[in-house]
Structure 1
Amino acid sequence: MKKEEILQKSREEKKDEGKEFIFNKGRKSGVIGMVIMFGILAVFNLYNDRHETTSALIAMFFGYLGSESFGIYTLTNKKMDLLKTVIGCILSISFLVLYFNGVRN
């Protein structure tokens, strides 16, 4: 394949690799920030005996991980990503149920 053919195919894809790199870097920073904030809030809630809100935090965290794994699975079709999706969703729903039961009582 000639250089011009490769460049032409790249132009037709209408992807900007620079933007993709920036968005991926931003997502990585966002995930790190979310994990740090989750840790701070979870420790605070456990220290102050607020178990019902800890369940909500954990449900949100596993919901995010399950959703992210699903997005990855749709692109890779790897069984491990599907397993992470299923486990993340099950844990998220379980902790959500615990949260709602704690709020009602």
Structure 2
Amino acid sequence: MLLLGLVVLVVGVIGLVLSFFGASIDYKHRSAEIMNWDVSPGTLVLWGAASALLIVLGLWMMKAGAKQGWRRRKEQKRLTELSEKLDQVELERRRNELADDEG
């Protein structure tokens, strides 16, 4: 999810950069052009809004992915610690059984 969020963020940034710097607006004829593609000024506004929405969505997805990864690492660490404790208890139990059998 972290990687997908990064991809969505990059697409949003590219769209926003194109709408700001790649667009030329002809106020006399009420038209706009993005990379040699004629659009209306309303479409240009919607393009910018969609790009901003993609940026926010990408940031949210990256945050959620990082949070999920952090929880997974924390749980794995906890399971490793519990496994080590269980191994120690099992070893101690076997030692006690051997001591009881010998004595």
- TM bucket (normalised to shorter chain) is 0.3 to 0.5
TM-score norm. by structure 2 comes to: 0.38
Structure of greater relative contact order (alpha carbons < 8 Å, 6+ residues apart): 2
Structure with bigger helix share is: 1
